Amino acid sequence: MKKEKFSVILQRDNLVFSAAHFLTYDKNKREAIHGHNFKLSVQIGSDKLQNSMVIDFLILENIVISVINQLKDKLLIAQNDQNLHIELNKKQIIIRCKDEYNDEYISVPASDCVLLPISNTSTELIANYIGKEVRKKLPIPNLTMKICLEEAVGCIGIYELEEDE
């Protein structure tokens, strides 16, 4: 039996955001904090159309922008990174690598950071976070989604979701 599927791709110049991050590799190895001008595209698919569309482009665009605006101009921190010890207070976030011999730490104003529920701030996992946040706001059952997040020209992390009926 043939099964038809429809999809839309949203890929616009306004789906960009600047943010800083760092990756951890081992308990005592961390990249330097650095930034990217991330560029996002999203593909949504479904086997059913509503009003002859998978979703209205403007609705999808507003949803995506509302998610990436939360990340714009922030330091992205992986809240579930097992290599980090994160201390929070009202005004500061203090980050230490879990290395008993390392006195190095990062102290950043809390208002300049976003704690993400991911295990590292790789482009793939940032795309995963964005995809899950976008999914929460989409009024489409049983969809497929592909989030492509470009951190530099030609360097793209991808998150894909395929829901079953």
pLDDT digits (tens, 9 = 90+) for 57-68: 999 999 999 999
- Mean per-residue pLDDT, 89-100: 84
- Residue 44 belongs to some domain of the structure: yes
Q: What is the pLDDT of residue 89?
A: 87
- Residue 84 belongs to some domain of the structure: no
Give the number of other CB atoms < 10 A from CB of residue 73. Answer: 11
Query: 18 with 37: CB under 8 angstroms?
Result: yes
Q: What is the pLDDT of residue 103?
A: 72
- Mean per-residue pLDDT, 79-88: 92
- Mean per-residue pLDDT, 14-27: 92
Confidence class for position 29, pLDDT limits 50, 70, 90: confident
Cα separation, 103 vs 92, whole angstroms: 18
- Residue 85 belongs to some domain of the structure: no
Model-level pTM? 0.93
Q: What is the pLDDT of residue 112?
A: 97
Confidence class for position 2, pLDDT limits 50, 70, 90: confident
Query: 69 with 54: CB under 8 angstroms?
Result: no
- Residue 63 belongs to some domain of the structure: yes
Residue 135 belongs to a domain with what CATH number? 3.30.479.10
- Residue 133 belongs to some domain of the structure: yes
Please determine, for residue 100, whether its predicted confidence score (pLDDT) is greater than 60. Answer: no
Which residue range forms the structural domain that includes residue 59?
A: 6-73+119-162
Please determine, for residue 99, whether its predicted confidence score (pLDDT) is greater than 80. Answer: no
- Mean per-residue pLDDT, 39-51: 95
- Residue 49 belongs to some domain of the structure: yes
Cα separation, 68 vs 44, whole angstroms: 17
**Residues near 159 by beta carbon (within 8 Å), at least 6 away in sequence:** 124, 127, 128, 130, 131, 145, 146, 147, 149
Q: How many domains does the chain have?
A: 1
